[in-house]
Amino acid sequence: MKHSGQTKKIVAEVIRRKPKARWLFLTLTVKNVYDGEELNQNLSEMARGFRKMVQYKKVAKNMIGFMRASEVTVNPKDHSYNQHLHVLLCVESTYFKNQDNYIKQNEWTQFWQKAMKLDYTPVVNVQAIKPKNGEKSDIASAVDETAKYPVKSTDYMTDDRDRNLQVVKDLEEGLRQKRLISYGGLLKEVHKELHMDEVDDEEADLIHTDEDEAEEVAYSIVAIWNWQKKKYLIH
């Protein structure tokens, strides 16, 4: 994938500059929603909530940089949409050295709940990433997970054509003009220095893709509306 390849180059350069830095993989969720309008609104609120959360003193003081990506999955039982953020965090080595710096799982949950102003306890998961794990580094695995497609056709395509059309319509509305992938801190600086394609515009780049990923992205997001026939098409 294009974004995964770009991020691996960025991460490699950050590791070169900050060899003692530590890496975390953070997943942030909220309750499911049931239509495109709710999805669009929630993704905007999550982006704002994340920006607020990383400014909290305990989060910011050890933060070197991050990559944040949005993902949407479809629940086949109740046809709801689960929107969540995958975040690859780079922190100073001091993060793990004392309680003043280290953020426990329940603290991340509290920070996210506070930033989002939620009246319930959200599901939050954080994992420390090890440099190596067998043939593939944990960092490479985390990059792949963070930078994958925001939504896949295989997550929602069924034999029910009408249902498929409704899901595609909801996803088109929900993902419209959304910043699906963004960088912050040193990762953003390196991204700019390497003159990579801009992936954190308000309107996500879902059209200019490599050939090997174009079919699936188009299947999920781009090839949705046929203006001549005035209807949605599923290929």
pTM, 2 dp: 0.74
pLDDT of residue 215: 29
DSSP string for residues in 98-126: -TTT---HHHHHHHHHHHHT-SS---EEE
- Residue 33's beta-bridge partner residues? 81
pLDDT of residue 205: 33
pLDDT of residue 129: 85
CATH class of 2-232: alpha beta
pLDDT of residue 233: 42
Question: Nearest CA to 40 among 77, 68, 81?
Answer: 81
Q: For residue 128, give the H/E element and its range.
A: strand 124-129
Task: Tell me the pLDDT of the chain (235 aa) as tens digits.
Answer: 456 677 788 888 998 999 999 999 999 999 999 999 999 999 999 999 999 999 999 999 999 999 998 888 888 888 899 999 999 999 999 999 988 999 999 999 999 999 999 999 999 999 998 755 555 567 776 666 665 544 455 455 566 677 778 888 888 888 877 767 889 999 999 999 987 655 443 333 322 233 333 222 222 233 333 444 544 343 3
Q: How far apart are CA 157 and CA 109, in angstroms?
A: 33
pLDDT of residue 12: 87
Q: How far apart are CA 77 and CA 49, in angstroms?
A: 29
DSSP state, 33? B
pLDDT of residue 130: 72
The residues spanned by each domain of the chain are 2-232
